[in-house]
Amino acid sequence: MSIQLRYAARSHVGLVRKNNQDSGYAGPHLLVLADGMGGPAGGDIASSVAVAHLAPLDQDSHAADDLLNLLRAAIQEAHQELVELSESYEELAGLGTTCVAILRSGNKMGMVHIGDSRAYLLRDADLTQVTTDHSFVQYLVETGEITPEEAAHHPKRSVLLRVLGDSKGEVTLDESMRAAVMGDRWMLCSDGLSGVVSAETIGDVLRSEPNPEACCEQLVALALKSGAPDNVTVVVADVVDSDDELTPTAAQVVGAASTTPAGASIGQSTPAERAAMLRRGKPLEETERAPVRDPRKLSLKAKIFTILTVLVLLAALGFGTYQAYQWSQTQYFLGVKDGEVTLFQGINQSIGTWDLYHPVKKQGLRYANLAPVIQDRLDATIALQSPKEANKILDSWRKTGLTKRSKNAAKPTVSPPETATKPQPAEDE
């Protein structure tokens, strides 16, 4: 029996934030939710870029075996673009985004996830949280430091351990293949919903509302009723029989990827929206384009700048100068040597057999004694502004329990690691 999706998406800026940094997408074969961060100049662009790279996948020509590869490639491209934007534009430094995406081919679904935006599945009236948050408090729960109930109110619950755009190199995703079962109801949401509305209440709404549109509206309304300190975005999709006659519905783009919030530098005609419109065969009129900067155009400048920089370096080396090498020696990074965390001077690059770095000092910390999330960061190397920054980072690892400790060691005081953090709204006085 063949199936199809009946879907809807809704997004609201909330009652505290000044702009919407969430982006959502719902289409016949693709569901996406991204929660951006990086302040008013970056969060909206970050989530929009993620949607822009994923939206072109919303078509029925994919083989089931290709779903995860397609999602992985699109998100890696988005991640690389965000890194380039952050490096090339001072006002975009520190931008990043969570992302959860589901791509369907027939009755198979590929899902990828990074950050703390969630996917829930309602099947036979049972609600399951399918994703696991990549957050500091979730790490504390998994290591037994706190309970899930304590995590819901922990002051560091917005500290994320993995997001798109946070560092160079390959992005690490949670990936899975799922069956699209008739009667299933899928929901993607930002923490603007899951952070203020209980899973029990979310389940009640998903069970009771007759269609995705009403379900989205009710869930957003509940978040607003609970104070909505953050942006709220919800995507809901029902798996139904392909013989069911559905009202023709275009792909829905909501949040930052669809509108121009105050202070944002992204136009109404965004890359994600254009991709969706072109896929439906609808031409874009010039009047639909907003005369503002597009993040993909910014990225083109960044790429051109990178290419020119490489050419200059190669030219300098060709003339036998050491200017590039001298500059590299003003840089530092943390890596691994002989199984131990080590401070290196230079940049983690080589030209032929010539390494542009050398070890400076071992830090007295074994790689094997680090939590997996820290090992992943070290594998990609951690860039530093100065040698002193290395001590601060290592101290934060020790204080937060991200290194193994002896049985007789005192229990550490919990404080956040050096990771991406969503801005918290100011408390009402």
Q: What is the pLDDT of residue 203?
A: 97
Model confidence at 319: pLDDT above 50: no
If asked whether residues 336 and 193 sit together in one domain, one would say no
Q: Decide if 414 is inside a domain.
A: no
Q: Decide if 267 is inside a domain.
A: no
Q: What is the pLDDT of residue 196?
A: 95
Predicted TM-score (pTM) of the model is 0.64
Model confidence at 338: pLDDT above 80: yes
How far, in whole angstroms, is CA 390 from its chain's centroid?
26
Structure-model confidence comparison of residues 312 and 66, the more confident one: 66
Q: What is the pLDDT of residue 328?
A: 72
β-partners of residue 252 are 26
Q: What is the pLDDT of residue 35?
A: 97
Task: Name the domain boundary from 291, 325, 359.
Answer: 325
Strands (E), 54-140: 96-97, 99-105, 108-114, 118-123, 126-129
Model confidence at 99: pLDDT above 50: yes
Question: Counting Cβ atoms within 10 Å, is residue 307 exposed (0-12), middle (13-18) or buried (19+)?
Answer: exposed
Query: Between the CA of residue 71 and those of 102, 110, 116, 124, what are the distances in Å?
Result: 8, 8, 18, 28
Q: Decide if 161 is inside a domain.
A: yes
Structure-model confidence comparison of residues 362 and 376, the more confident one: 362
Mean predicted confidence (pLDDT) in 133-161: 89
Q: 118-123 and 3-12 as β-strands: parallel, antiparallel, unpaired?
A: unpaired
If asked whether residues 178 and 50 sit together in one domain, one would say yes
For 391-423, write each residue's pLDDT tens digit: 888 887 777 667 764 343 334 444 444 455 555
If asked whether residues 32 and 165 sit together in one domain, one would say yes
Mean predicted confidence (pLDDT) in 116-140: 95
Q: What is the pLDDT of residue 422?
A: 59
Q: What is the pLDDT of residue 267?
A: 33
| CATH code: domain of residue 159 | 3.60.40.10
For 258-307, write each residue's pLDDT tens digit: 853 322 323 334 434 433 343 344 433 332 333 334 444 445 445 544 55
Phi and psi angles of residue 341, each rounded to the nearest 5 degrees, phi first: -60, 130
Query: Between the CA of residue 401 and those of 23, 137, 176, 333, 415, what are the distances in Å?
Result: 33, 12, 29, 22, 9
Q: What is the pLDDT of residue 191?
A: 95
If asked whether residues 310 and 195 sit together in one domain, one would say no
Structure-model confidence comparison of residues 311 and 130, the more confident one: 130
If asked whether residues 226 and 371 sit together in one domain, one would say no
Alpha carbons 13 and 206: distance in angstroms, whole number: 22
For 214-262, write each residue's pLDDT tens digit: 999 999 999 999 999 999 999 999 999 988 777 667 899 999 998 533 2
Which region among 63-67, 207-211, 321-325 has the lowest average model confidence (pLDDT)? 321-325
Residues of the chain with pLDDT > 70, as a percent, come to: 76
Q: Decide if 139 is inside a domain.
A: yes
Which region among 89-93, 293-297, 380-384, 392-396 has the lowest average model confidence (pLDDT)? 293-297
Q: What is the pLDDT of residue 410?
A: 38
Q: What is the pLDDT of residue 374?
A: 81
Q: What is the pLDDT of residue 113?
A: 98
If asked whether residues 334 and 318 sit together in one domain, one would say no
Q: Decide if 221 is inside a domain.
A: yes
Banded pLDDT at 206 (limits 50, 70, 90): very high
Mean predicted confidence (pLDDT) in 92-97: 90
Q: What is the pLDDT of residue 94?
A: 85
Residue-number span of the structural domain to which 48 is assigned: 1-242+249-256
If asked whether residues 233 and 376 sit together in one domain, one would say no
Q: What is the pLDDT of residue 222?
A: 97
Mean predicted confidence (pLDDT) in 129-142: 93
Structure-model confidence comparison of residues 24 and 61, the more confident one: 24
| Counted domains in the chain | 3
If asked whether residues 34 and 70 sit together in one domain, one would say yes
Q: Decide if 266 is inside a domain.
A: no
342 is written with which tokens?
């080590």
Q: What is the pLDDT of residue 411?
A: 41
Structure-model confidence comparison of residues 398 and 160, the more confident one: 160
Model confidence at 424: pLDDT above 80: no
Which region among 51-65, 310-324, 331-345 has the lowest average model confidence (pLDDT)? 310-324
* Other CB atoms within 10 A of residue 80 CB: 20
Model confidence at 178: pLDDT above 90: yes
If asked whether residues 317 and 380 sit together in one domain, one would say no
Banded pLDDT at 323 (limits 50, 70, 90): low
Q: What is the pLDDT of residue 47?
A: 95
If asked whether residues 130 and 56 sit together in one domain, one would say yes
If asked whether residues 165 and 194 sit together in one domain, one would say yes
Banded pLDDT at 315 (limits 50, 70, 90): low
CB 255 within 8 A of CB 36: no
379 is written with which tokens?
């594998």
Q: Decide if 294 is inside a domain.
A: no
Q: Decide if 320 is inside a domain.
A: yes
Banded pLDDT at 156 (limits 50, 70, 90): confident
CB 302 within 8 A of CB 85: yes
CB 33 within 8 A of CB 117: yes
